[in-house]
Amino acid sequence: MKFKITADCLDLNRTLFCGQCFRFERIGENEFEGIAGDKYIKLRQDNDGEITAFSDERDFWENYFDVSLCYSEILDELSEDRTLRAACENKGIRVLRQEPFETLISFIISQNNNIKRISLIIKRLCESFGERIDGGYSFPSAEKLASLSLEALAPIMAGFRDRYILDAARKVYSGEINFAQIETLSDDDARAKLKTILGVGDKVADCALLFGMHRLSVVPKDVWIKRVLAYYYPSGLPECALKYAGIAQQYLFDYARNDAKKILAR
DNA sequence: ACCCAGGGTAACT
DNA sequence: AGTTACCATGGG
């Protein structure tokens, strides 16, 4: 089935490869394919920006790309600040609505790691322990991962993160970590709950909240965001960025790694 | 050979 | 409460 995805400010190349998701690949000039959960999709974005999607799960993907949220107004608001205006000048990044468990495991794998290798490890994780689906392999369930031993997990080459993955999967499978319940908590309480998982600190917890539970108020502080904050915002993000701080964060992350790299890299 | 990558843990002061 | 070595792996 073929359908159009209409959302303001959606550049697939930027959104899919800005480090918030790890299961998409470029398969042509303007063509992409990927999997979220157990759903495969192929996408094409023409030069005029129009996006054609190939999938039988239209509702799922419209939710995934959060098409009902209007970014124009949000980016205008963020642009009241000088640095954010520069960061948002090149629109097109949207914060996706990813599934919590997949996001949690993905960002556990992300720690002290680079995006290319994160994607490779997740690919091996899915091919080893996910279900075969049309187009590839699903992201493995908490139940499946919880049943594994360290030895069984070793071939995905996640290194020292093996035991973190198992602890997270086991806590989710047992119900000790319950995403529906975490949804009801404040940012601080939700973060604290996630941090009871071995290998989950502030940054990974905030990534799970922002990218996996769509908590747009949360700002994961990786090395690049720390550099941005230290250099541009020593006394914190400006007022105009507080409501959608997570979106501001994603634009600043991209800005720091690409446009302002020379200024910020030490 | 050294340093870094969407960090966190454990063992120190 | 605040610092620091160490953790696997691959690429620059």
Contact, A83 CB vs strand B, < 7 Å: no
Query: Which has more pLDDT, A262 or A83?
Result: A83
Q: Which residue is nearest to nucleotide C8 (CA to C1')?
A: A159
Q: Phi and psi for A168 in degrees, rounded to 5?
A: -65, -45
A266 pLDDT more than 70? no
CA A220 to C1' B8, in angstroms, rounded, equals 14
Residue A224: predicted pLDDT: 93
CB A253 within 8 A of CB A246: no
Contact, A258 CB vs strand B, < 7 Å: no
* Residues facing strand C, Cβ within 7 A: A 112-114, 116-117, 157, 159-160
pLDDT in tens, A55-64: 999 999 999 9
What are the CA-CA distances from residue A190 to residues A2, A181, A196, A214, A217 (Å)?
38, 9, 10, 13, 13
CB A24 within 8 A of CB A43: no
What is the rounded distance in angstroms from the CA atom of residue A121 to the CA atom of residue A130?
13
Contact, A205 CB vs strand B, < 7 Å: yes
Q: Which residue is nearest to nucleotide B8 (CA to C1')?
A: A199
Q: For residue A249, which nucleotide's C1' is closest to its Cα?
A: B6
Nucleotides of strand B lying closer than 7 angstroms to a protein CB: 4-10
Contact, A115 CB vs strand B, < 7 Å: yes
A6, two tokens: 């209409």
Q: For residue A107, which nucleotide's C1' is closest to its Cα?
A: B6
Q: Which residue is nearest to nucleotide C7 (CA to C1')?
A: A160
CB A219 within 8 A of CB A233: no
Residue A1's contacts (CB-CB under 8 Å, 6 or more residues apart) are A54, A55, A56, A58
What is the crossing angle of helices A100-109 and A162-174, to 10°?
160
Nearest in space to A76 (alpha carbons), one of A253, A250, A248: A248
pTM for this model (two decimals):
0.97
A235 pLDDT more than 80? yes
How many residues in chain A? Answer: 266
Confidence of residue A262 (pLDDT cuts 50, 70, 90): confident
A198 pLDDT more than 90? yes
What is the rounded distance in angstroms from the CA atom of residue A112 to the CA atom of residue A133?
31
Mean pLDDT taken over chain A? 97
